[in-house]
């Protein structure tokens, strides 16, 4: 009876663990005759290559990495951050809320961009050149956002 349990449960797990280590593919770096550096998971035909350790795994979850990438993209393009969701309690309405402070800072940066340039990027990343009336209207909207986000209520 004990042998059956061992053979059905412990043995398969032990085998899986034994073969789990060498799963990571080796990386090779070599320079060809023309001086070009190559990186590959297979060694070159000549066999002369430096074996490299695989890079460490990212400490971020895929969702967090995507969130940071999107924040970087928005920052580089000068786009507005998404508006913070309205909070249900009064503690989120103070200046101590990090999301509110971040939105406030983004609105201030957007106003500075509008003051110094007529060119902005839309949500798709296309460059838009604003005429004076559009620019002033957007500056007024941004000032209203700053008034709402950057003052304690």
Residues 88-145 pLDDT 10s:
444 444 456 888 888 888 889 888 888 888 888 877 888 888 888 888 898 899 899 8
Counting every residue, how long is the chain?
Answer: 153
- Report d(CA 81, CA 47) in Å as an integer: 51
In a domain, 4, yes or no: no
Contact call for residues 149 and 94 (beta carbons, < 8 A): no
Phi, psi of 119 (to 5 degrees): -95, 130
**pLDDT over 70 at 3, yes or no:** no
Give the domain range for residue 46: 25-55
In this predicted structure, what is the pLDDT of residue 19?
56
- Report d(CA 86, CA 139) in Å as an integer: 23
In a domain, 68, yes or no: yes
In this predicted structure, what is the pLDDT of residue 80?
66
Contact call for residues 78 and 120 (beta carbons, < 8 A): yes
User: Within a 10 A sphere around the Cβ of 106, how many other Cβ atoms?
Assistant: 23
In a domain, 2, yes or no: no
In a domain, 5, yes or no: no
- Report d(CA 120, CA 118) in Å as an integer: 7
Q: Where are the beta strands (DSSP E) in 69-108?
A: none
Count of the separate structural domains present in the chain: 2
Phi, psi of 42 (to 5 degrees): -120, 140
The answer to whether residues 29 and 102 belong to one domain is no
């Amino acid at each position: 009876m004990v042998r059956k349990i061992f053979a059905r449960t412990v043995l398969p797990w032990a085998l899986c663990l034994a073969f789990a280590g060498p799963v990571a593919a080796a990386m090779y770096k070599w320079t060809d005759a023309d001086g070009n550096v190559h990186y590959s998971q297979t060694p070159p035909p000549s066999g002369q290559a430096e074996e490299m350790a695989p890079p460490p795994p990212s400490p971020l979850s895929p969702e967090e990495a995507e969130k940071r990438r999107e924040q970087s993209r928005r920052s580089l393009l000068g786009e507005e951050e998404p508006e913070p969701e309205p909070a249900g309690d009064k503690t989120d309405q103070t200046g101590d809320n990090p999301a509110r402070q971040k939105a406030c800072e983004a609105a201030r940066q957007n106003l500075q961009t509008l003051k110094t340039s007529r060119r902005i990027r839309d949500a798709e990343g296309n460059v838009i050149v604003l005429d004076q009336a559009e620019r002033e209207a957007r500056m007024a909207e941004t000032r209203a956002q700053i008034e709402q986000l950057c003052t304690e209520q």
